[in-house]
Amino acid sequence: MLKNITFSADSEMINKARKIAEANHTTLNDEFRRWIDQYTNRPASESELLDILSRMSYVRVGKHFSREEMNER
């Protein structure tokens, strides 16, 4: 379900963005949807990744693998 929201920005900036979108055969609405999709699905930040690694520090492989074992397919 699509939901309407309202943003405010400088009118000159909005006009410039509309011209860029029109030149790219799209709309500001489409560009916003693309942006919010990328924003919400972005990779975790370095601090988030470090936090995950620290929480998984208890994990142990239990065995050292040889080069041949690691390259087996």
Q: Is residue 36 part of a domain?
A: yes
Distance CA 30, CA 37 (A): 11
Q: Is residue 5 part of a domain?
A: no
CB–CB of 18/30 below 8 Å? no
Contacts of 27 (CB under 8 A, 6+ apart): 21
Q: What is the span of the domain harbouring residue 47? A: 11-71
Distance CA 32, CA 25 (A): 14
Q: Name the residue with higher pLDDT: 11 or 72.
A: 11
Q: Is residue 1 part of a domain?
A: no
Supply the pLDDT for residue 45: 85
pTM over 0.75: no
pLDDT for 7-52, tens place per residue?
A: 899 999 999 999 999 999 999 999 999 999 988 888 778 888 888 8
Domain count across the chain: 1
